[in-house]
Structure 1
Amino acid sequence: MVKYRQILDLHFKSVSQRTISTSVGSSRNTVSDVITRAKKAGVSKLTDDMTNPWLAKKLYPEKQAVKKGYYPPGWEKVHKELQKKNITLKLLHTEYSDEAQNSGKLPYAYRSFTEKYNLYVRKHKATMPIKRKPGQILEVDWAGSTLSLKDRENGGDMPVYIFVATFSYSQYSYVEGFLDMKSSNWLTAHIHAFEYFGGVAESLVPDNLKTGVIKPVKGEPILNESYRELADYYQTSIVPGRARKPKDKPSVEGAVGFISRQIIAALRNYQCFSLAELNDQIRLRLDDINQEPFQKRPGSRKIVFDEEECGYLIPLRPPRLKLSEWRIARVQSNYHIQIDRMYYSTPYEYIQSDVDVRLSKDVLEVYFKEARIASHKQLHGEPGQYSTNPDHMPDHHRYFLDPTPKQSKRQLNGYIPHIESSIYNKVNFIEWRTILCLINKILCQSL
């Protein structure tokens, strides 16, 4: 085997090629070729990582697997494909073997294929520890595992979904169970976590779940409006982790696994009928986890949080945020929008426009391009009810809804020209309105 490092080492010491050839046991042509290729490759001095195998690949890349007749795998493609669901290294090796045979070259055996892939991962996919700052990041997520409650009516199991929030710096965590993962519970869990911690982190890092992120656009995800409103109220920012990138939020991913073992697994056989009772049991085990001493450094999650991180949190803003829900609706031709099978009016100028609807506990507000255009008290009870503000109606609709005597006479004159004033004055105003309605009905039937 050619001693590339020794050849270059002697060359850089100004030793002649004849002497180098004698010292390393290689021909003068080989020594000359190694020196020439080193100059072209920009190797002007040797470092510790420039081993003989490294120099062989650097100076003679054509002598690698291709020259021996083996088909070179595309390791970057293999690594990306392996991250997809249900894709295995065995399947990728089968596809690679087919490609090699179609190219007229030899494929690596499965054992060599896996060894070379592991070598690629170690060299090119190394991770770097990132030093987190106290109070900077709070990672939030739903745990994959669930607990359960007993249904009082039929004795069946009702799933309980576990919310987890973890500080990246201290690993101090908050855990709570909910009966569903809807937006209202997602926001409530955040508020409870803020109150448990006694403050808010500079940034929230959630997953790309629908209750937090409407569309995970690369670079600038579109946030759920209710979630954005919560962040604005508590003066924090939301930085969603990238899709299928769990290392963007490693603390909560690790905490989810740890909590699944320490809390969810421990309570798997615990039976109760009340969510509050189950959360009390979760809180007891959570306090034990936060106060448990670290194995590889002094202190505990609770001690590090109290001594180093708590002072950097953004203070809680009183009073507690009143939760709201945002929806999108289209103004119908009758200048009403439909929400939960109830109808609410908007100014008629916005017919066929898409509007944002904010639902709070008792009030419904309608926004167009961030400007509020209508507000109603929420309707409850029988579906199909209407809440109509007369100011939202066109003038001719408003006249027909509640005409004055003068307006009624003007409308009747359109049907019966030259109506006698004496006749009009003798008839009660309510009777004229009845006559007007009957005329409209007859005309509609005739049409």
Structure 2
Amino acid sequence: MSDNRISMRKLQEILRMRFEYRLSIRQIARSTRVSVGNVSNYVQAFERSPLSWPLPSDCSEATLVQTLFPEAPLSSRQGLVDPDWGVIHQSLKRKEVTKQILWEEYCQESTLNAYSYSQFCHRYNQWLGCQKRSMRQHHKAGEKLFVDYAGLTVPVVNPKTGEIAHNAQIFVAVMGASNYTYAEATLSQKSEDWLGSHVRAFEFFGGIPAVVVPDNLRSGVSKACRYEPDLNPAYQHLANHYQVAVIPARPYKPKDKAKAEVGVQLVERWILARLRHETFFTLAELNSRIRELLTELNLKPFQKLPGTRRSTFEQLDEPALRPLPKQAFEYAEFSKARVNIDYHIHCKGHYYSVPHQLVKKEVEVQATEHTVTVFCKGEVVACHPRKFTTGFTTQSAHMPERHSKHQEWTPERLLEWAKQLGPDVHWITQYLLNSREHPEQAYRSCLGLLNLKRDYGADRLNNACAHARKIKGYRLKNIRAILQSGKDKQALQPEVKQTTLPLHDSHENVRGAASYQ
């Protein structure tokens, strides 16, 4: 009988529900608050016994228990053999292995000197309770990867000045089932370094776990919450690429990431402590030394479990990991933008078009090294090649119909047309293009100017532009007014150069000094 003994009244209640009301095992367990396993054991023992329901009126508690569980108490049995509980514990980390299977194998090896299944489970739980508190969590093979930064940093020294250039951050990743550990140094804990460390960790393990458990670092979690934390968009992008679930540890719940805490502690003691007397001038040099010591750590035998981190990883986690994706992960930056009235959004110094229907709406922008993708309500609305210079990138499909007609024009084509109409028309057109921050913004004015040729001809238009240059009236409305008034037909008056007055009084219109005496 299980050590979790129940009262005679509750045992009778279980039997009554089963054999009188025909309730299921799970229904009985919920009603009586007894585990499903124990309810099942009691029912099966009653079915094997010579008793029948209802029980005889003279059936005492001792008689019922002795009839249902005839085997002697554990204390009176001699020569029972304990299995290797460390091996049992490691075997339970495999997805397909259960305590029932391990108990059956144990019985086959121990024959008559084996514990019953209930005692097998009880003694395993006793052994587990004597181990470190961090072992109380059961992690399936290939299921979880715990990630965090160490509290300690390593200084990287400038070789020219001898001063500390920066303090390198130490990223740590630990597999839940095997404790196989990865560590590396990065310049910072910013998003790009954080995600890059994940990519290199996956490559180190040679596969992808089902779940990644980070701390509530700002680079990973934009809003920490016990129940519904919000992932940083760039971190979610990585999770989507690798098809891995990210489940951040709850704030102020260190047990949620106990593996990471222990892994960080081991890295600090077995790696960083040894580096405290060494000097590093580059990050690559530091990481090379970390890899050497990391290999030693993973090959170090466990104290209370069989094998090493490396051997356990090869047995448990490695076969259960999913393969790495064929396409390499590409880091992306995410930002919010509001669509301007010219149906363009600003991203890293360049303007990209979106469908004109989205004017004044807020969109999400994803910028990688090669592309800029714009999302609205989770859907892709525009995708452009990434530009690293100032200017506009516009797709004709994004324009209103009245604007798309201008897409075929370029500054070169406008200037070539203007050159054919005359030098002054060419000068004014060049001025209009140069007067705006972006040439596209002057297309409408240039087309309006050049199209005046239809009504007035090329010669009059060129003359009007010459008059406009003289009076510095470079706007389209100034040139149109000149044409409408006919001033372009008047010859241009040559500019009169001012000369100094003569110093002598020989001219008839100049009074002499005597006039003022």
TM-score of the superposition, structure 1-length normalised?
0.61
Query: What corresponds to 2:392 in structure 1?
Result: 386
Partner of 1:145, secondary structure, is coil
CA distance in 1, matches of 2:321, 2:453: 81
State the Cα distance separating 1:133 from its structure 2 match. 1.2
The DSSP-based 3-state class of the residue aligned with 2:204 is helix
The amino acid that maps onto 1:149 is V
> Which is worse superposed, 314-323 or 190-199?
314-323
2:475 paired with 1:438: yes
Do the aligned partners of 2:179 and 2:309 also contact (CA within 8 Å) in 1?
yes
Matched, 1:156 2:163: yes
Counterpart Cα distance in 1 of 2:453 and 2:293: 88
Are residues 1:333 and 2:348 paired?
Answer: no
Tell me how large the CA RMSD over aligned residues is.
3.5
Amino-acid identity (%): 35
Residue of 165, 170, 177 corresponding to 2:173? 165
- Deviation of the 1:396 alpha carbon: 4.8
Deviation at 1:379, TM superposition (A): 2.7
Which of 245, 263, 275 is matched with 1:255 structurally? 263
Separation (CA, whole Å) in 2 of partners of 1:410 and 1:331: 26
Matches within 5 A, 1:179-258: 179-258=187-266
Q: Structure 2: 5+ residue runs without aligned partners? A: 1-132, 418-443, 481-517
Q: Structure 2 vs 1, CA of residues 304 and 388 (structure 1 numbering), >3 Å: closer, same or farther? A: same
Matched to 2:147, the amino acid is V
Which residue of 2 is the match for residue 353 of structure 1? Answer: 361
Of the candidates 110, 116, 129, which is equivalent to residue 136 of structure 2?
129
Contact persistence 2:175–2:317 (CA under 8 A): no
Larger radius of gyration: 2
Q: Counterparts of 1:154 and 1:271 in 2: how far apart (Å)? A: 14
Alpha-carbon shift at residue 204 of structure 1 (Å):
0.5
Among 399, 402, 423, which residue is 2:456 paired with? 423
Alpha-carbon deviation of 1:427? 6.6
Shift of 1:363: 1.6
Distance in 2, matches of 1:231 and 1:253, equals 22
Q: Give the structure-2-normalised TM-score.
A: 0.54
Three-state SS of the structure 2 residue aligned to 1:314 is: coil
> How far apart, in 1, do the equivalents of 2:262 and 2:285 lie?
26
Residues of 2 paired with 1:209 and 1:316: CA distance?
Answer: 25
Structure-2 separation of matches of 1:220 and 1:211: 17
CA distance in 1, matches of 2:399, 2:286: 52
Counterparts of 1:166 and 1:298 in 2: how far apart (Å)? 18
Counterpart of 2:278 in structure 1: which amino acid? Y
Q: Partners in 1 of 2:453 and 2:146 — Cα distance?
A: 80
Displacement of 1:170: 1.0
- Tell me the SS of whatever aligns to 1:135: coil
Contact 2:145-2:176 at 8 Å conserved across structures? yes
Partner in structure 2 of residue 308 of structure 1: 316
Aligned residues: 310
Residues 1:413 and 1:154: Cα distance change in structure 2 (over 3 Å):
closer
2:433 match:
none
How far apart, in 1, do the equivalents of 2:223 and 2:450 lie? 58
Q: Which moved more, 1:392-401 or 1:331-340?
A: 392-401
Within 1, Cα distance between the matches of 2:137 and 2:361? 48
Q: Tell me the CA shift for residue 398 of structure 1.
A: 5.1
Rate the CA distance shift 1:148–1:360 in 2: closer, same or farther, 3 A: same
- Secondary structure (helix, strand or coil) at the match of 2:228 reads coil
